[in-house]
């Protein structure tokens, strides 16, 4: 095999791996079908943040199928859900703005991502914004805090 053929063969083998490893940076609204955004915006304008009354939250589990299995990176705020025996973070919700899930009402499920860390990490400061990176999946998760329509197998969580 000559050098030229070897280079072509190497490129054919390596190129798909490089494309596969590319991480797409997402915006939160990409997780929601476009027609729902205006409805959510209208509902959000009616929220009373005074703490009086309990408005019915806008809810949607509608997802974007083309994002399932995508290697992605998205910024947001961590809401701890599960820790290990030593207080290290294992699972959490990533939300688009500070106070979501704690404040009334939480964002719709298609605007919340349930993150799962392969290895627990020291607890993070919930007031800081983070980049979360990993494989995005369409999967419904619900607990007492909130519901999410997406999960992510998190490979990296770093300060924004």
* The overall pTM is greater than 0.75: yes
Select from 62, 48, 52, 36 the least CA-distant residue to 149: 62
Query: What is the chain's Cα-based Rg?
Result: 19
Mean pLDDT of the chain: 84
Residue 7 pLDDT class (50, 70, 90 cuts) = very low
Q: How do the domains of the chain map onto residue ranges?
A: 24-48+55-159
What whole-number percentage of the chain has pLDDT above 70? 75
Distances (CA, A) of 2 to 5, 7, 8: 6, 9, 10
| Amino acid 96: pLDDT | 94
Which sign does the torsion angle of CA 150, 26, 145, 114 carry?
Answer: positive
- Three-class DSSP category at 12: helix
Sorted by sequence, the CB contacts under 8 Å of residue 153 that are 6+ apart come out as: 116, 118, 134, 135, 137
For 83, residues 6+ apart whose C-beta sits below 8 A from its C-beta are: 89, 90, 120, 123
3-state secondary structure of 111: helix
- Check whether 138 has a pLDDT greater than 90: yes
pLDDT in tens, 59-104: 899 999 999 999 999 999 999 999 999 999 999 999 999 877 665 6
Domain 24-48+55-159 is of which CATH architecture? Answer: Beta Barrel (2.40)
Return the pLDDT at 111: 95
Confidence check: pLDDT of 16 > 60? no
């Amino acid at each position: 095999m000559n050098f030229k053929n070897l280079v072509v063969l190497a490129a054919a083998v390596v190129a798909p791996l490089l494309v596969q490893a590319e991480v797409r940076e997402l915006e939160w609204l990409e997780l929601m079908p476009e027609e729902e955004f205006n409805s959510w915006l209208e509902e959000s304008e009616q929220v009373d943040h005074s703490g009086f009354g309990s408005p019915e939250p806008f809810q949607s589990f509608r997802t974007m199928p083309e994002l399932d299995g995508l290697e992605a990176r998205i910024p947001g705020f961590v809401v701890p859900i599960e820790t290990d025996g030593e207080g290290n973070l294992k699972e959490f919700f990533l939300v688009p703005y500070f106070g979501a899930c704690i404040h009334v009402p939480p964002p719709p499920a298609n605007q919340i991502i349930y993150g799962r860390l392969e290895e627990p990490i020291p607890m993070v400061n919930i007031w800081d914004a983070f980049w979360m990176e990993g494989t995005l999946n369409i999967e419904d998760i619900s607990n007492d805090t909130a519901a999410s329509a997406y999960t992510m197998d998190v490979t990296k969580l770093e300060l924004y």
